Amino acid sequence: MSAPHEPYFEAVLAALGDLAEGGESFTQFDSDDGEVMLTEIYISVPRGPVGLVWTQVIGWHWGYVNDDGFLNNTDELVLGLVATPDIITAAVHALLTGDSHLLPLSDPAPEPTADQLTPDLARAVEEGDIDHTTAAQLSYYA
């Protein structure tokens, strides 16, 4: 099974465009008999240098990348678990223009959902790796 949140990751990367470094950005997914071990997105924003992290539990957070390549403490980037790529891009612009005090941004639009789950997301729900609401929000980007 491929990472069920891969299409969402691709949509966010596309929205960020040149702000993100695709080669240093990735998704991870791991489960063990229905117990989710990891559902994560990491996006590198080299102009900060800033790293963006998303999980199915906490949503989007950001932190400055230290000299060792690790994130320092992270703070909330946007409100909402599956924020739209546009609001994530707006939040990154705020970070890069010295307006981090405006974060976390809230998306005035409701989180979009799809009528049907992708096969990977349906399997992840069936195995207990992700809840149906989050899966429907992620399916919107497939």
> What is d(CA 120, CA 58) in angstroms, rounded to the nearest whole number?
21
* Number of Cβ within a 10 Å radius of residue 114: 15
Beta bridge partners of 51: 44, 63
Higher pLDDT, 40 or 130: 130
Confidence label for 85 from pLDDT (cuts 50, 70 and 90): very high
Higher pLDDT, 102 or 6: 102
Beta bridge partners of 63: 51
Q: Which of 4, 7, 10 is nearest to 25 (CA)?
A: 10
- Range 71-90 average pLDDT: 91
Q: Where are the beta strands (DSSP E) in the chain?
A: 21-32, 35-45, 50-55, 59-64, 75-76
Mean pLDDT, the chain, integer: 82
Higher pLDDT, 26 or 4: 4
Domain-by-domain residue ranges, the chain? 6-139
Confidence label for 125 from pLDDT (cuts 50, 70 and 90): confident
Outline where the chain has alpha helix (H).
6-16, 85-96, 119-126, 132-139
pLDDT at 103 > cutoff 80: yes
pLDDT at 31 > cutoff 60: no
pLDDT at 33 > cutoff 60: no
Beta bridge partners of 55: 40, 59
Which region among 14-18, 61-65, 120-124 has the lowest average model confidence (pLDDT)? 120-124
> What is d(CA 13, CA 85) in angstroms, rounded to the nearest whole number?
8
